[in-house]
Structure 1
Amino acid sequence: MSSDPMPRMTPDEENAYYADPEHQRPTGAPIRRKARMGAPVPIRFPEELLAEVKRRAEADDRSVSSWIRRAVERELQRTT
């Protein structure tokens, strides 16, 4: 038996679930985020590469920024 209080949902199922005001009330102690981000770093990508990054970020249900940060973190871990 899983210790997850809620079963896994697709993004569409999550959207429908949280559209109900009953499911919008916070429960439990707040979860604090990691330290604040530093200054933004402007990066330019060729259009084809950016389109692929956007597709992969969407497939992972992440923002483009979050997807790129994770890719950079993984690369840094791989090369150390």
Structure 2
Amino acid sequence: MTTQKMNPDEDYEFYARPENQVPQGPPRRRSRMTESFLVRLPPATLDEVRRRADEDKRSVSSWIRRAVEHELDKQAQ
């Protein structure tokens, strides 16, 4: 296993090899999600969310969940 930062091409080559596709450690289960709901954002905000999610290699939903959790943690402090 490597700990150095890889660019997308190196990342693809690394995980294309079968020996690098073996799960490490016990499986991690995601918590069950509840109902979905609609959130409307201005186009410029949505574009920025999409850009940042892509930058973090996350889905938009995952990025928004993380942002909400971050804000909730911050409020609890």
Give TM-score, length-normalised by structure 2: 0.75
Segments ≥4 residues shifted beyond 4 Å: none
Q: For CA contacts below 8 A with separation 6 or more, give which structure has more relative contact order.
A: 1
Identity of aligned residues (%): 47
The yes-or-no answer on 1:26 pairing with 2:20 is no
User: How big is the shift at 1:34?
Assistant: 2.9
CA deviation profile, 1:9-31 (whole Å, cap 9, x unmatched): 3351222211223422335x431
CA deviation profile, 1:16-56 (whole Å, cap 9, x unmatched): 211223422335x4312232111222212111110000111
Whether the 8 Å CA contact 1:11–1:61 is kept in 2: the answer is no
- CA-based RMSD of the aligned residues comes to 2.0
Give TM-score, length-normalised by structure 1: 0.73
Structure 2: unaligned runs, 5 residues or longer: none
Q: How does 1:31-70 map to 2 (within 5 A)?
A: 31-70=27-66
